Homo-oligomer: A and B are copies of this chain.
């Protein structure tokens, strides 16, 4: 039995609250149970130098955790003077995932920066970030549409993410921290609205795993992500 008494294929309660920061072109407070992430999307008329003059835009992401988002206080990265390897890894994943479903030509020579700041962490912060980021991004694109800044479709599909793992020998969906720290295997899936894979990252935390185990996790992820995509559609409807 899972610590949270959830069924193996049961998500935590998920909410996607829009418009939570008054300045941002798009924003979303996403909650996967006790994991809370504040996401904003910022539109700017500038580009990384290497992209200028190519008629395409860019989407990038930054990720952070408030120091006491965690059970023990984590050192503030701004005060430490550098971002941890974990932070860098996560923000690169978020940016890559979002770019896959964006039509960068349709965006035009502009950059959208997605900031994901974890207010409270209970496992799955990177997957919650990606799921909420899509909502903030959709609102940012709608903000542009309302101002006739884009013509073609900028958003090509939904994107959402979930973690799965093998906990006490059973594949389970949407690991919380209690499960994550005990899981033998941990895999994060990022998928589109039509069920294709954008990114899969499976890691043997203790024992190597088999291809069959990976497939079992992927089946759970398909189901969970379909549900998250439904929630995203409801949120922006």
Chain A interface (Cβ < 8 Å from any Cβ of B): 21-24, 27, 34, 38, 40, 42, 44, 62, 64, 66-71, 73, 76-83, 85, 87-89, 91-92, 96, 100, 113, 115, 117, 119-120, 157, 187, 191-192, 194, 196-204, 206-211, 214-215, 218
Number of identical monomers bound together in the oligomeric complex: 6
Q: Roughly how many angstroms separate A62 CA and B68 CA in the complex, as a whole number?
A: 11
CB-based contact B100/A204 at 8 Å? yes
Q: Given contacts A23-B68, A62-B76, A211-B218, list 17 more A-B pairs with CB under 8 A.
A: A38-B66, A38-B119, A40-B68, A66-B115, A76-B78, A77-B78, A78-B87, A85-B88, A85-B91, A85-B92, A89-B89, A96-B203, A187-B200, A197-B210, A198-B203, A199-B203, A200-B214
Q: Roughly how many angstroms separate A119 CA and B91 CA in the complex, as a whole number?
A: 19
Residue in B85, B198, B208, B215 whose beta carbon sits within 8 Å of that of A100 in the complex: B208
Q: Roughly how many angstroms separate A96 CA and B186 CA in the complex, as a whole number?
A: 13
Q: How far is the CB of A89 from chain B (nearest CB, A)?
A: 5
A82-B81, A115-B66 known; A120+B23 contact, CB < 8 A: yes
Q: Roughly how many angstroms separate A211 CA and B44 CA in the complex, as a whole number?
A: 36
Chief secondary structure at chain A's binding surface: mixed
Q: Roughly how many angstroms separate A207 CA and B79 CA in the complex, as a whole number?
A: 30
Residue in B66, B68, B196, B208 whose beta carbon sits within 8 Å of that of A197 in the complex: B208
